[in-house]
Structure 1
Amino acid sequence: MIGEHVIVGYTGEPSGREALALGAAITRVTGGELTVATIYPPGSPGLAVEAQANLAHAAEELGDAPAGYLAYESRGSGRGLAVLASRMRADLVVVGSAGGGQHGRIAIGTTADHLLHLSPEAVMVAPAQYAPPEEPGRLTLAYVHRPQCDAAVERVAQAALRLGVPLRLITFDLRTEDQSRLRDDLALAVRLAWESTGIEAEAEVAEGHDVAAAMAGVEWLPGELLVCAASEDAQPHRVFLGELAMKMLRASPCPVTVLPRGFS
């Protein structure tokens, strides 16, 4: 299950503090290891000092919560976090929304964009001004009938079982598909979750003229986490977010996790 070792991409900006709060909440629930990382560019002694100061602020934010702190030199923050995740065998990278985004929504900055198209490990993005509750409320998996999503059903069902939260499988009817076929596909996914873990998943078809409208038309619980599988275009053991999933991420009112292809 993801959350055994979480790396938070931390900055002194509000998005960094939101990512820190989310990463800490995850490891508090999973009992996993937390590493707080600040990335700075090479050849910049002043920014290296600033990175250490940011980590000191992060330690103040966390208080007594156990965590490791690391300043890492890299030409890009997304690249640096991806390298760290691989080297440290972390299974989740958490970052915040880009500055200037809409309250309660995710805006993709350069760091998140790099991770969402290259990270070797799962990536979670927090909405702007997100404050995590004490406990997770539900796991929702965005489902499309394809091998990547079928594999994700089993993994996310296992996570829901371990966390003791409901599992919802949701698919989108943008009025271009045969809804009876979509519901048949969902029924097969519900059966797969049951056969692999014994968990009884909820199933829902979100309808709308576009992804944002469909997302707005369904209920999102406090503590909800939305999970997406990587695109079929992703390289093995890499995250790559497809067009539909990117639209879902931008419209999501809750944190979104994207699994790498071949996630286990």
Structure 2
Amino acid sequence: MKIEHILAGFVPGARGQDGLALAVLMARRAGARLTVAHVHVPAWPTPGPGKIDAEWRSYVAEQTAGILERARDFMADITDISVDYLSQPNRGSGRGLVQLVGRVKADVVVIGSAPGGGRGRIRIGSTADQLLHASPVPVALAPRGYGEQGSPELRRLTVAYRRDPGSDEAVRQAFELAAQVDVPLRLITLVVSGRRQAKVEEEMLGRLREQVAADLEEITRGRVRVDVGVLEGRDVATALARADCEGSILICASSETGPLRRVFLGDVSLKIIRSAPCPVMMLPRNPPAKPGSAEKLGKP
């Protein structure tokens, strides 16, 4: 996975700024160009009486221009990356962004958290829901308040690894991205258990950690630094709380039940997104990697 063009969905308010802050960080580290977009309601499908349809189009155009001007104001001090601004009509903002992905040939789409969530956490609203079940490119979500942190940093990429073919492909893409943005790669496996683990289980986790670390070292061939951790908790939230996610983007693979080349949110991924204290990037489900790339991951 190589990021050369980032699409950031923008709406007025803090959540729009949160998404822009993450998009700017990613664009800087990847050396990518950025398109800031606002999805607005479409014109009426049939003309109304008198000039009402023309007046509506004029109103929508004026509102859209004002919203994009707010985005420009937020980006006024950003001079080190290339930024374009555009709009797209659609009744669903997520569906409109999916259309724009194809229109501008973006490599990733970035948005902020929906209103009403906890500070530092991600809440999935209608826009994210549409993207997380239809986008053909990775979807990155910024937690609430991310744009208020000054200049966020990216210190490493973290992959939530489930030891299945989808996660194998996610690891392959993640270490390619880590090499591009020049940060270490960390792999974490979340082990959910409602009871205290027995000694034999702890030994099994230790062997799992060593095997996955060895596989990753062989696959990455030293191109990026790799750290591996196995985190246990009574649920996803408590297991994930054991991870230090400051300065990280958490990468997740789509559900194996979803369609190829689309992001598709599974139950575990949904819990990770809701529990993560950092930005999360969901990858679309891709065909299995070619032999010799990541095929060894997940095998004993």
Residues 154-165 of structure 1 aligned to structure 2 (within 5 Å): 154-165=172-183
For the residue of structure 2 that corresponds to 1:162, the secondary structure is helix
Structure 2 residue aligned with 1:111, among 92, 115, 127? 127
Instruction: Pick one of 244, 250, 255 that aligns with 2:274.
Output: 250
In the alignment, the residues of structure 2 paired with residue 158 and residue 118 of structure 1 have an alpha-carbon distance, to the nearest angstrom, of 24
In structure 2, list runs of 5 or more residues that go unmatched.
Answer: 44-55, 290-300
Q: CA deviation at 1:156?
A: 0.8
Give the unaligned 5+ runs of structure 1.
none
Counterpart for residue 187 of structure 2: 169
Paired position in structure 2 for 1:90:
106
Q: Distance in 2 between matches of 1:79 and 1:183?
A: 44
Where does 1:1-264 land on structure 2 (aligned, <5 Å)? 1-43=1-43, 44-45=56-57, 46-63=59-76, 64-65=78-79, 66-131=82-147, 133-175=151-193, 180-197=203-220, 198=222, 199-221=224-246, 223-262=247-286
Question: Which structure has the larger Rg over C-alpha atoms?
Answer: 2
The change in CA–CA distance for 1:180 and 1:114 in structure 2 (over 3 A counts) is farther
Report Cα offsets for 1:22-72 as digits up to 9, x if no partner: 111111111101000000111252233212111111111111433110011
Aligned residues: 263
Q: CA deviation at 1:186?
A: 4.2
Quote the Cα distance in structure 1 between the aligned partners of 2:211 and 2:96. Answer: 40
Residue identity over aligned pairs, in percent, reads: 40
Contact 2:98 2:134 in 1 (8 A): yes
TM-score in terms of structure 2 length: 0.82
3-state DSSP of counterpart to 2:146 = coil
Cα RMSD for the two superposed structures: 2.0
Task: Name the SS of the counterpart of 1:117 in structure 2.
Answer: coil
Give the distance between the partners of 1:214 and 1:148, measured in 2 at CA: 21
Alpha-carbon distance between aligned partners in 1 of 2:154 and 2:32, rounded to the nearest angstrom: 15
Distance in 1 (alpha carbons) for counterparts of 2:6 and 2:32: 7
Instruction: Indicate conservation of the 8 Å contact 1:2/1:92, yes or no.
Output: no
Structure 1 187/238 Cα, relative in aligned 2: closer, same or farther at 3 Å? farther
Distance, in Å, in 2 between the alignment partners of 1:2 and 1:14 is 29
Give the secondary structure class of the aligned counterpart of 2:39. Answer: strand
Does the 8 Å contact 1:150/1:189 carry over to 2? Answer: no
Cα offsets for 1:185-241 (capped at 9, x unmatched): 4444333332232234211111111111111122222x2110001110121110011
* TM-score normalised by L of structure 1: 0.93
- Single out whichever of 48-57 and 170-179 deviates more from structure 2: 170-179
- Find runs of 4+ consecutive structure 1 residues off by over 6 angstroms: none
Change (3 A) 1:37 1:148: same
Distance (Å, rounded) in 2 between the aligned partners of 1:123 and 1:54? 22
Task: Quote how far apart the aligned CAs of 1:181 are.
Answer: 4.7
The answer to whether the Cα contact below 8 Å between 1:33 and 1:67 also exists between their aligned partners in 2 is yes
1:135 offset after TM fit, Å?
3.6
Does structure 2 retain, via aligned residues, the 8 Å contact 1:193–1:200?
Answer: no
* Closer/same/farther in 2, CA of residues 121 and 240 from structure 1, 3 Å limit: same
Q: What secondary structure, in the 3-state scheme, does the structure 1 residue paired with 2:128 have? A: helix
> Secondary structure at 1:53's aligned position in 2?
helix
